[in-house]
Structure formats: C-alpha cells, structure tokens
Structure 1
Amino acid sequence: MTTMHVEHPSHTHAHGPDCGHTAVPHGDHTDYAHDGHLHREHGGHWDECETDGHVAHDGHTHQHGADCGHESVLHGDHVDYLHDGHRHAAHAGHWDDH
C-alpha cells in the first residue's frame, strides 16, 4: 500500500496540535481530518493523504460503531475509526486498514 501525493491547492490553514482538527497518526507522520478528508504537511504545502489500494485488516473481530470507544473521523463518503495508530473503515464485510 502506498500513499498518493496529491497537493491540496490553496490550503491556508496551518494544522497542528491546537488547530481544532482531529490528529490521526499515520506511519511516520500525522494527518489531520478536515472537511471529510485527511491533510498531511509535506515540503511546505499540504497533501491529501490517501492510500492507494485495498488492504484488509485480517483478524479484526472488533466491531466499530457509535459506542465502540474509538474516535470516528469522517472520510469522504464513509467513517473511519482510529484504532491502534491507524484507521479502520468498513468494507464488504471486513475492516480495511488505512
């Protein structure tokens, strides 16, 4: 799984610990959930941080939902759940690992 490099044009908001958007740990960096998508600082600009491909989280028996105890993040047309430093999204009867 790779992360696509798509620059978010005209993004003047500076994300950080006190910006008011949910911080999402993602490998070696932090994404910020903003208006249904994720932003990552990169080389003096902000990227749309999206994975390329499909990775099922095998063996994940926990069912995410409104009362599961994990923070939810609106992500495009669905909701991701922050779990153990990554995002889970429901997909075709299993959970994807973003």
Structure 2
Amino acid sequence: MTTLHTEHPSHTHTHGPDCGHTAVPHGDHTDYAHDGHLHREHAGHWDECEADGHVAHEGHTHQHGAGCGHESVLHGDHVDYLHDGHRHAPHEGHWDDH
C-alpha cells in the first residue's frame, strides 16, 4: 500500500503538538486529523494523507468502539481508531490497517 501525494494548497494552519488537532503517529512522520481528513507536512506544504489500496489487518480480534480504550479519529465518512501506531478502520466485517 502506498500513500497518495495530494497537496492541500489552501492549508494555512500549522499543525504541531499544541495545535488542537489529534496527532496520529504514522511511520516516520505524524499526521494530524483536521476536519475529517488527515494532513502531513511534506516539503514545505501540507498533504492530504490518504492510503491508496486496501489492507486488511489480519488476526485483529479486538472490536473498536466507544470505550474500547483507543482514541477515535473522524476520517471522512467513518471513524478510525489509533492502535499501536496505526489506524484501524471498519470495512466489510474486518478492520483495515491504514
């Protein structure tokens, strides 16, 4: 799975530890949940950080939801859950790994 590189051209807000948006550790960088989508800093601008492809998180038996102990992040038309440094999203009876 790769991540699409789509620049967010009108994004003037600077994300950081105290910006008020949920920080999402993601590999070698941090994404920020903002208005239902994720931003990451890249080469002096902000990208929309969206996964390209579908990767099921095999063997994930934990059921995320209210009170599950993992932070939830609004992401488009669904909710992702931050779990062990990545995002899980519900998809057709299993959890996707974003």
**TM exceeding 0.5:** yes
Partner of 1:40: 40
**Structure 2: stretches of 5+ with no match in the other structure:** none
Residue-by-residue CA offset, 1:37-95 (whole Å, 9 max, x unaligned): 00000000000000000000000000000110100000000000000000000000000
Q: What secondary structure is seen at the aligned counterpart in 2 of 1:24?
A: strand
| Whole-angstrom distance in 2 between the partners of 1:43 and 1:22 | 21
Partner of 2:89: 89
Q: What secondary structure is seen at the aligned counterpart in 1 of 2:21?
A: coil
| TM-score (norm: length of structure 2) | 0.99
| Whole-angstrom distance in 1 between the partners of 2:95 and 2:67 | 17
C-alpha deviation, 1:2, in angstroms: 0.1
Partner of 2:6: 6
| Whole-angstrom distance in 2 between the partners of 1:38 and 1:4 | 12
**Structure 1: stretches of 5+ with no match in the other structure:** none
Q: What secondary structure is seen at the aligned counterpart in 1 of 2:56?
A: coil
| TM-score (norm: length of structure 1) | 0.99
| Whole-angstrom distance in 2 between the partners of 1:42 and 1:92 | 32
C-alpha deviation, 1:9, in angstroms: 1.4
Q: What secondary structure is seen at the aligned counterpart in 1 of 2:11?
A: coil
| Whole-angstrom distance in 1 between the partners of 2:57 and 2:77 | 20
Q: Which runs of 4+ in 1 moved over 2 A?
A: none
